[in-house]
Amino acid sequence: MNYDVIVVGSGFSGSILARKIAEECNKKVLVVEKRTHIAGNMYDRFDDHGILIQEYGPHYLNTNKYYIINFLEKYATMFKHTAKLLSFIDGNYVRLPFNFETVQQLLGSENSEQILEKLRSSFSGRDRVPILELVEHEDNDIRNYGNLLFEKAYKTYTAKQWGLSVDKIDKYVLNRVPMAMNYDERYLNKDFQYLPVQGFTKMFENMLNHENIVVKTNLNALDYITFDENKKEIFYDGNLVSSLIFTGPIDELFGLKYGPLPYRSLDIKYDYYESDSALPGEIVSYPQAIGYTRSTEYRKIMYDCSNVKGTVVATEYPMQYNPKNEIGNIPYYPVNTVESNILYEKYLKEVSKYKNLFLCGRLAEFKYYNMDVCIEHALDYFENIKEYLETHA
């Protein structure tokens, strides 16, 4: 056993930490990945038609911090891609995020003048406003419009996505769905929106390609991890390691001893079309449809599709996570509710018993991290680990 550090999971959190520790601390790092491939939920691959599909759903990198793009450019050539989405409501395609154009689409231009004026003056200086804020607004017209969006799109989509009624879901998650207070058509209003030319997996391959890093896929780290409560240390394959960084689900690390944390999973179904285009946009959300939430046409997101024949549409069917099932066994989203956050705290107390155990990432920290936040967090977290490794060499 020649490793100083074990990193469990090869998503953004694990791969960034592995690379930084290998390169800047000159430590030997073993990355253990349960799936048959690296890159976690960012994994993408070319399908039989030459289309770059993202196996775990579509991902757009967007951030206001250019250093994040700069960091990723060490491992991949990036191209600018501004995501533009549509939502299918009452038989019509409307812009997503809902914006001033949507007001006219849903109410008719002739009925929109007053509400547009009110929205402008009530939210002046604000680019985007969570729909929940409209629903709770003191003005009748604004509240009515908020309720219209809420009923036609938000409530049903959210219930399908999370498998819960909206009153049960953490406000942090709910507040992620905004309305644009202008005619902005960009799905995301961050300054820098990029994708890697050759896809995410290639970028991860380059990130993990370092002489101090060994990657083992198709291996469940839980089969090798043991705890010594008295010594307050965690072991890998019977050996004490200076640190073990865990980026998988925290409840599984502790054998679900307090019960399982809830995660949401997806079943993604693919339809191939011989034409060059199948949807009116790269992603269409279907809040009123039964069973599925949105469809993605990956060809429309690709940097170069000159050699692609036909097109593929991937449709997402949210479902409950169950590690034992054939479908739905990938934990995509932590479901944050009051109860689940309390349960998470119990697991967190377990972590604090072990001085060489570190948690990082969406599943380990049971938080809804977007990529940019996840990357920033891993880069910051590295500074803690670095200090720890220097003082516990």
Query: Using CB under 6 A, which of 19, 27, 35, 137 touches ligand FAD?
Result: 35
If one asks whether residue 49 binds ligand FAD (CB under 6 A), the answer comes out as no
DSSP assignment string, 35-76: SSSSSGGG-EEE-TTS-EEETT----EEES-HHHHHHHTTTS
DSSP assignment string, 61-121: EEES-HHHHHHHTTTS-EEE----EEEEETTEEEEESB-HHHHHHHH-GGGTHHHHHHHHH
**Choices 4-12, 142-150, 191-199, 281-289; region in contact with ligand FAD by CB under 6 A:** 4-12
Residues 260-299 interacting with ligand FAD (rule: CB under 6 A):
none
Q: What backbone torsions phi and psi does residue 203 show, to the nearest 5 degrees?
A: -60, -40
If one asks whether residue 248 binds ligand FAD (CB under 6 A), the answer comes out as yes
**Choices 125-133, 270-278, 340-348, 356-364; region in contact with ligand FAD by CB under 6 A:** 356-364
CA distance 207 to 76: 9
Whole-number minimum distance, CB 112 to ligand FAD, in Å?
30
Query: Using CB under 6 A, which of 59, 65, 186, 190 touches ligand FAD?
Result: 59
Nearer to ligand FAD, 62 or 105 (CB): 62
Nearer to ligand FAD, 104 or 247 (CB): 247
Nearer to ligand FAD, 32 or 312 (CB): 32
Query: Using CB under 6 A, which of 363, 376, 381, 382 touches ligand FAD?
Result: 363
Tell the burial category of 41 from Cβ atoms under 10 Å away from its Cβ (0-12, 13-18, 19+). buried
**Choices 101-109, 134-142, 288-296, 361-369; region in contact with ligand FAD by CB under 6 A:** 361-369
| Tokens at 205, concatenated | 């391959």
If one asks whether residue 376 binds ligand FAD (CB under 6 A), the answer comes out as no
Whole-number minimum distance, CB 317 to ligand FAD, in Å?
12
Nearer to ligand FAD, 25 or 360 (CB): 360
DSSP 331: -
Amino acid at 193: Q
DSSP 23: H
| Tokens at 311, concatenated | 């097109």
Q: List CB contacts of 227: < 8 A, sequence separation 6 or more.
A: 233, 234, 235, 354
Nearer to ligand FAD, 141 or 267 (CB): 267
If one asks whether residue 356 binds ligand FAD (CB under 6 A), the answer comes out as no
**Choices 5-13, 93-101, 166-174, 193-201; region in contact with ligand FAD by CB under 6 A:** 5-13
How many helices (DSSP H) and strands (DSSP E) are in the chain? 12, 22
181 near 158, Cβ under 8 Å? no
3-class DSSP state for residue 354? coil
CA distance 333 to 368: 7
If one asks whether residue 371 binds ligand FAD (CB under 6 A), the answer comes out as yes
If one asks whether residue 137 binds ligand FAD (CB under 6 A), the answer comes out as no
If one asks whether residue 130 binds ligand FAD (CB under 6 A), the answer comes out as no
Nearer to ligand FAD, 114 or 329 (CB): 329
If one asks whether residue 44 binds ligand FAD (CB under 6 A), the answer comes out as no
Whole-number minimum distance, CB 254 to ligand FAD, in Å?
12
Counting residues that bind ligand FAD (by CB under 6 A) gives 33
CA distance 342 to 247: 20
Residues 206-225 interacting with ligand FAD (rule: CB under 6 A):
220-222
314 near 293, Cβ under 8 Å? no
Q: Which residues bind ligand FAD (CB under 6 A)?
A: 8-14, 32-35, 40-42, 56-57, 59-60, 220-222, 247-248, 332-333, 361-363, 369-372, 374
